[in-house]
């Protein structure tokens, strides 16, 4: 009989927690006990599907082997070390541990070897970073990337269920004042995601810079980002320009990306075929198109990258880490 594991989802009432639950079942993850934990409930409850949801407490992780966390950074800061101390390997979807030098930051298609370095906690990268490094990994391996310029077009689901509700409400009544976002999001774009920093980049933009270098294991890569919220419910899009140490032709880039794990190339502009967030929603892969050589520099390439931010950008990536974790015979 195949070995089974006791698993907990922390933050089950959020969009990512619900996606984690769905993906565990879809991929037939070998769990025995599956504990659903909320950090916001005052007492235990039952959801609409009849699942028992436990209010988090100091003994929640006794006997739990894997914890999939998505409760917010401040909550993970408190509870992830408690879970790890009880022998639970935490795969944390928040920003809390990503840049901790003792915590591996993992995208399975890019740096799965780092999983073994964990000391009880493994960090899941930011959603925008995940899809970018999945697309860039085969190109970096072939030609070494020197510089990345990325502009993101991020859906409202990246801001949680409140973001989705605000967009839907404003599409019906554009006069409704914003609550979740700084400005109305319906029929609009907002070039402001997360907290502004002293250098006038936002925290979201700085995440992409630092996380990309850590995941690719190359501090020399220069990265600049502009992150924009768009009136799309699900699926992040990115316009990426890279400069490499040696030239990558369009044909070579297509060939490399076509056989890369977790990547699907959709690139036929003559027939109106390129990645769209509507098409990526609910899919596991990262989609790449509009692949073309940058004629303004010697070794430049442009890409358009789209992925489901709730799946590959969050829940799926965490479950994939867990799948690799349990393949280790020492686990």
Give the residue numbers marked as catalytic. Answer: 127, 236
Spatial contact of 68 and 14, defined as CB atoms under 8 Å apart: no
In which residue are the tokens 């990306």 written?
257
In which residue are the tokens 């390129």 written?
274
From CA 222, how far away is CA 201, in angstroms rounded? 15
In the chain, alpha helices (H): 15-26, 73-85, 127-143, 161-172, 203-216, 250-258, 277-280, 316-327
Token pair listed for 174: 């554009």
From CA 138, how far away is CA 257, in angstroms rounded? 7
Sign for the CA dihedral angle at 259, 262, 268, 271 comes to positive
The total number of residues shown for the chain amounts to 331
CA distances (Å), origin 65, targets 68, 92, 105 = 10, 14, 19
In which residue are the tokens 């933050």 written?
11
Helix (H, G, I), strand (E, B) or coil at 159: helix
Spatial contact of 67 and 87, defined as CB atoms under 8 Å apart: no
Helix (H, G, I), strand (E, B) or coil at 179: coil
Beta-bridged to residue 294, according to DSSP, are 300
Neighbouring residues of 279: CB distance < 8 A, sequence distance ≥ 6: 266, 287, 306
Helix, strand, coil shares of the chain, percent, nearest 5, are 35, 25, 40
Region at 255 (left for phi over 0; alpha for psi -120 to 50; beta for the rest): alpha
Token pair listed for 122: 């493994």
């Amino acid at each position: 009989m195949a070995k089974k594991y006791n698993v907990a989802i922390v933050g089950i009432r959020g969009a990512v927690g619900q996606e984690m639950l769905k993906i565990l079942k879809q991929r037939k993850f070998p769990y025995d006990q599956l504990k659903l934990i909320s950090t916001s409930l005052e007492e235990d409850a039952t959801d609409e599907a009849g699942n028992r949801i436990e209010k988090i407490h100091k003994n929640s992780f006794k006997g739990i082997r894997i914890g999939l966390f998505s409760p917010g950074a401040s909550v993970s800061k408190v509870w992830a070390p408690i879970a790890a101390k009880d022998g639970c390997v935490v795969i944390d979807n928040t920003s809390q541990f990503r840049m901790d030098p003792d915590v591996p930051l993992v995208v399975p298609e890019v740096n799965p070897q780092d999983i073994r370095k964990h000391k009880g906690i493994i960090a899941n990268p930011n959603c925008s970073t995940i899809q970018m490094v999945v697309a860039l990994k085969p190109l970096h391996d072939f030609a070494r990337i020197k510089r990345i310029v990325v502009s993101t077009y991020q859906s409202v689901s990246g801001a949680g269920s409140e973001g989705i509700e605000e967009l839907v409400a404003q599409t019906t009544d554009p006069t409704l004042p914003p609550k979740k976002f700084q400005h109305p999001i319906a029929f609009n774009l907002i070039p402001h995601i997360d907290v502004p920093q002293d250098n006038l980049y936002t925290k979201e933009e700085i995440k992409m810079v630092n996380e990309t270098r850590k995941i690719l294991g190359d501090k020399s890569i220069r990265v600049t980002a502009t992150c924009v919220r768009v009136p799309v419910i699900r699926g992040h899009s990115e316009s990426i320009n890279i400069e490499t140490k040696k030239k990558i032709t369009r044909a070579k880039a297509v060939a490399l990306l076509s056989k890369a794990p977790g990547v699907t190339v959709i690139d036929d502009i003559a027939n109106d075929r390129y990645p769209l967030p509507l098409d990526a929603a609910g899919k596991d892969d990262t989609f790449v198109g509009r692949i073309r050589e940058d004629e303004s520099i010697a070794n430049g390439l442009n890409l358009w990258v789209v992925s489901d931010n709730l799946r590959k950008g969050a829940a799926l990536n965490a479950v994939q880490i867990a799948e690799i974790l349990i393949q280790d015979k020492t686990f």
